Structure 1
Amino acid sequence: MISSPSPADLYGPLLAKVQERAILADGKTFVDALPKRMVADIMRDFARLPSGDEALRAFVADNFDLPTAICGKPAAAAEPLRDHIRLLWKELARAPDRQADRGSALPVKHRHVVPGGRFREIYYWDSFFTMLGLVRDGETELATGVVDAMTDLIETHGHVPNGTRTYYLGRSQPPLYHMMVELLGDQGSDAAARRLAAMKREHAWWMAGAQNLEPGSSAARVVRLADGALLNRYWDPRDTPRDESWREDVETAASSDRKPEEVYRDLRAGAESGWDFSSRWLGDATLPSIRTTAIAPVDLNAFLFGLEIAIAASGDEEAGDFSRLAAERHDAMARHLWNAAGGYFCDYDIERGAVRPALTAAALAPLLVGAATQAHADHTAIAVKRELLAPGGLRTTLVATGEQWDSPNGWAPLQWIAVAGFRGYRHDRLAGEIARRWVHTVAATFARTGLLFEKYDVETATIGGGGEYAPQTGFGWTNGVTADFIDSYGLLPPTE
């Protein structure tokens, strides 16, 4: 595995001062900046810099080329939504960057697509949902480039980082590489062999430390429960503030009565989940109470089950081993992640040895990967219709904390997981209703703004809010999921 220094490693006290004093409005701006000269020379001059924010602001401007957000222009008046999505692929596409020898960017050898806004690089689980639209629109080269880039990352680092930045190398995201490979389809035996090898390597990364793990103990991303069942959790080897959210993390830790290192690791693990941040990870509905590493998430374990099934289906010499691993995980999920009283799947509290009873959209992941029984799916459908189905789509959770992965927000990937999951268990009417409501929300907001957004308020069918940064436009996974729903269900007239 290749390890590259992050901006915090390189700039240390300079980064801390820039971030904690909010010299730049968005903490991601500085860590994505390109140094204009050698790092050692920058740090030497920083040590002699006079105090004061204005001097620091000028120093940053003199020594770094600051990036800009990918802010697309609003659609032309009366431009149909579906046509606009097709046009956005060109705007979000990026040429290969094979060098990336300055700044925090990791090399990407293939043409690819980025989400948009402040997200100027490839993101892991975003990419699957973006690919749904690319495949729909015949952008096979771009979709293949995304998968090839993911394969390169696994071969180089052992896993797909959260995004293609050095500061993301300590964490991944929900492991959907195997679903990307399946979506792309057969591209020849050489490609299939290479991608299968990458799936196995990614699985080994997630399972590192499992082999000799005693009951009631954990190691990195694996947890052995008291009864011997093996589950996974999110985790990060670093226990420092995230480079891109340094100030926010320092403030969160300062508001907690726990050791800062524990809070930092849980924040990082929450970022690895893709649900950054959510009441799923909190102890008392406030961010300082975050305890992500004490939770075995239902969706993570479902996706890893899907990965094990995909490898087992390859039929190679290790297929039997992965079939056994999948069966063991399936049993562990049924025993520890099913909330019989509520009638839906939940996360598991490792420290307390009990299911976390809150209903969230993550409950649909076991349906997506076929880990549920028909009875599980039937009960889940009842709970979703009763509590998660909102006027504008599927609610993320039932709790309003001000975090972006909570009510009233809805997110494109969660809509698609629910729709695909319910369709797999013959709940077609509910699946279609979720898709219809989501497309209405996106279309109504597009009609008002000419833009597609990262997240939406599904209670009022408008732009979502909350979290650490302003709502972003673009937007890869919204484009992909919405295009897939429109085409699958015929939800807009043919001209759209």
Structure 2
Amino acid sequence: MDRDFVLFIYTNKTSSLIRMASIQSGLTTKINLEVSFRRSKKAFNDLEDHSKENLELFVEENFVNEEDTLLQYVPDDWSPFEPKDIIKSFNNYPEYSGFISEINNRMKSLCRKIDEDVLLNQQLYSLIYLPNPVIIPGGRFKEIYYWDSYWIIKGLLVCGMNTTVKGILENFLYMVKLFGHVPNGGRTYYIGRSQPPLLILMVKDYMDQTQDYDFVKENISILRNEFEYWVNKHLVLVEDDRGEMRKLFRFIDEDSTPRPESYFEDFDLVSSLELLPEKQKDLFRQLRTAAETGWDFSTRWYIDENGTNEGELKDTKADQILPILSMEILEAIDAILWNPSSGIWFDYDFMNKKSRNYFYPSNLTPLFLISDITSKIIDQSKIESALNYILEMDNEEIHPGGLPSSLIPSPQHGHVSYDATDPKSTGHGGEYLVQIGFGWTNGVLIGKKYYELNSRMKKIKNSLLSFPSDIDLII
């Protein structure tokens, strides 16, 4: 079967496939069922009655369950451990022993290896074959995801799983060689978009722990290719206050169809609005772009008719907002995004040519990038001002669970499974169910606690050069 038909199955806009997507909760459950034989196209064309029952039968007869291709796998470098076995910092903190051991166990439970049949018959699968085991987020997310892996790797390195980390990095480098960039996730329908470009930082974290400089030397050209992809596709020019043109980056997915992984949700939203065809296409494009940000969905990407972030999901304009990205552009970030009246960096509204004066934890991103080189660009007074800004926002009485993802109440925040106002409860809304032990939150928690308890890293953390503490819990 040719891949065109596989993509047809995943992206066809007929009402019958929308109804097919509704057969059971979550479109991703159905979309990731793999095509099982070469006559599926004829079988679909011969399907005259598009009732729910017939569509269920069609799926059952023509697809195989994805669990047959994503195999449970125990990493070679995983082992059960007491924290003292690997992390000396925990010796004096026995109360964290069970906590860390439990997260370590969840790392194992989320490991998968892709069956070789996907490599031999790629045309039959939406899954992208990867040569090494992966750590998946879990729940409905059964494949590897780009920026999730940045946080997952933080935890894996603390657990001493250097070999697994190297394998994940090799998977991403393999994708860059295939597609010119790292896709949003490990499915063919994600190839058209990426996610925050953190591969270089992942390699740096691995190198810092292992001193495997040969690995970096061998793959530096591939890392350069990924950076060039972002330069070629995502670079925009913005004029600063002195009339100089500055280079910044934005997220953008140019496809104007519903996201295959959330086809029903996108179709349902757009069809509920009275929009002209071009406006419908633009909203589909904006929803896709929001998914590329990794921060989907959030008021951060809203621009309503008044130019504010107080809109709804239909007001998503993700490709018109220039975020504070972790790239070699700190001078431009400082020139365009620094807001002297508020004493912090803000995203930039490219459509209305103005600063977006709204609180999000990402406003602190430049502090995460500070080094001996970048400290010459961002002076100490701005660092102190930004720290004061975040301290003012960190109101424990209002948000006992930590910094919220936004001060605008909205069901669209990316981390709806956690409520900053009530940390003992779960959140609500969003496109997927609450689960225990999500892949990247595992990595954040174990990495955060390790650096907090490591006396050597405390000094670095206090100068804002370490793994982020408050910023990492983007809730």
Whole-angstrom distance in 1 between the partners of 2:283 and 2:5: 20
Counterpart among 454, 457, 475 of residue 419 in structure 2: 457
- Residue 383 (structure 1) aligns with: 389
Which AA in structure 2 matches 1:9?
Answer: F
Whole-angstrom distance in 2 between the partners of 1:104 and 1:15: 20
Work out whether 1:288 is the aligned partner of 2:314.
yes
Work out whether 1:88 is the aligned partner of 2:106.
yes
Work out whether 1:245 is the aligned partner of 2:245.
no
- Residue 217 (structure 2) aligns with: 193
Whole-angstrom distance in 1 between the partners of 2:220 and 2:15: 41
Identity fraction in percent? 30
Which AA in structure 2 matches 1:193?
Answer: K
SS of aligned partner of 1:223:
strand
Alpha-carbon deviations, 1:209-245, whole Å to 9, x = none? Answer: xxxxxxxxxxx42212244212111111311111011
Contact 1:278 1:404 in 2 (8 A): yes
Q: Are residues 118 and 80 of structure 1, via their aligned partners in 2, closer, same or farther at CA, if it must alter by over 3 Å?
A: same
Counterpart among 388, 397, 400 of residue 409 in structure 2: 400
Whole-angstrom distance in 2 between the partners of 1:5 and 1:459: 47
Q: How does 1:212-291 map to 2 (within 5 A)?
A: 220-226=233-239, 227-254=244-271, 255=273, 257=275, 259-284=279-304, 285-291=311-317
SS of aligned partner of 1:402:
coil
Q: Are residues 361 and 189 of structure 1, via their aligned partners in 2, closer, same or farther at CA, if it must alter by over 3 Å?
A: closer
Whole-angstrom distance in 2 between the partners of 1:173 and 1:136: 24
Which AA in structure 2 matches 1:457?
Answer: D
SS of aligned partner of 1:148:
helix
Q: How does 1:133-172 map to 2 (within 5 A)?
A: 133-172=155-194
Contact 1:234 1:293 in 2 (8 A): yes
Whole-angstrom distance in 2 between the partners of 1:133 and 1:188: 19
Whole-angstrom distance in 2 between the partners of 1:79 and 1:107: 36
Alpha-carbon deviations, 1:101-140, whole Å to 9, x = none? Answer: 2320001101221111111111111111111111111111
Q: How does 1:24-423 map to 2 (within 5 A)?
A: 24-38=24-38, 41-49=39-47, 50-67=49-66, 80-100=98-118, 101=122, 102-185=124-207, 188-208=212-232, 220-226=233-239, 227-254=244-271, 255=273, 257=275, 259-284=279-304, 285-298=311-324, 300=325, 303-305=326-328, 329-370=329-370, 372-388=378-394, 390-405=399-414, 409=416
Q: CA shift at 1:153, angstroms?
A: 1.0
Q: CA shift at 1:256, angstroms?
A: 5.9
Whole-angstrom distance in 2 between the partners of 1:7 and 1:279: 34
Q: Are residues 159 and 256 of structure 1, via their aligned partners in 2, closer, same or farther at CA, if it must alter by over 3 Å?
A: farther
Whole-angstrom distance in 1 between the partners of 2:331 and 2:155: 34
SS of aligned partner of 1:331:
helix
Which AA in structure 2 matches 1:282?
Answer: Y
Whole-angstrom distance in 1 between the partners of 2:10 and 2:170: 32
Contact 1:134 1:140 in 2 (8 A): yes
Q: Are residues 291 and 7 of structure 1, via their aligned partners in 2, closer, same or farther at CA, if it must alter by over 3 Å?
A: farther
TM score, norm. by length of structure 1: 0.74
Which AA in structure 2 matches 1:458?
Answer: A
Q: Are residues 166 and 235 of structure 1, via their aligned partners in 2, closer, same or farther at CA, if it must alter by over 3 Å?
A: same
Q: Are residues 127 and 16 of structure 1, via their aligned partners in 2, closer, same or farther at CA, if it must alter by over 3 Å?
A: farther
Whole-angstrom distance in 2 between the partners of 1:376 and 1:465: 37
Q: Are residues 163 and 35 of structure 1, via their aligned partners in 2, closer, same or farther at CA, if it must alter by over 3 Å?
A: same
Contact 2:10 2:31 in 1 (8 A): no
Whole-angstrom distance in 2 between the partners of 1:47 and 1:56: 12
Alpha-carbon deviations, 1:180-200, whole Å to 9, x = none? Answer: 111111554542123321221
Structure 2 gap ranges (5+):
73-95, 305-310, 455-475
SS of aligned partner of 1:272:
helix
Contact 1:70 1:474 in 2 (8 A): no
Whole-angstrom distance in 1 between the partners of 2:341 and 2:228: 35
- Residue 419 (structure 1) aligns with: none
Alpha-carbon deviations, 1:282-330, whole Å to 9, x = none? Answer: 12320111111111111x2xx122xxxxxxxxxxxxxxxxxxxxxxx22
Alpha-carbon deviations, 1:140-180, whole Å to 9, x = none? Answer: 11111111111111121111111110010011111111111
Q: Are residues 361 and 113 of structure 1, via their aligned partners in 2, closer, same or farther at CA, if it must alter by over 3 Å?
A: same
Whole-angstrom distance in 2 between the partners of 1:58 and 1:361: 47
Which AA in structure 1 matches 2:386?
Answer: T
TM score, norm. by length of structure 2: 0.78
Alpha-carbon deviations, 1:80-114, whole Å to 9, x = none? Answer: 22111111122111225455223200011012211
Q: Are residues 87 and 293 of structure 1, via their aligned partners in 2, closer, same or farther at CA, if it must alter by over 3 Å?
A: same
Structure 1 gap ranges (5+):
72-77, 209-219, 306-328, 410-454, 492-496
SS of aligned partner of 2:327:
helix
Q: Are residues 13 and 4 of structure 1, via their aligned partners in 2, closer, same or farther at CA, if it must alter by over 3 Å?
A: closer
Q: Are residues 246 and 12 of structure 1, via their aligned partners in 2, closer, same or farther at CA, if it must alter by over 3 Å?
A: closer
- C-alpha RMSD of the superposition: 2.6
Alpha-carbon deviations, 1:37-73, whole Å to 9, x = none? Answer: 11xx2222222321322221222122222346999xx
Whole-angstrom distance in 2 between the partners of 1:116 and 1:36: 24
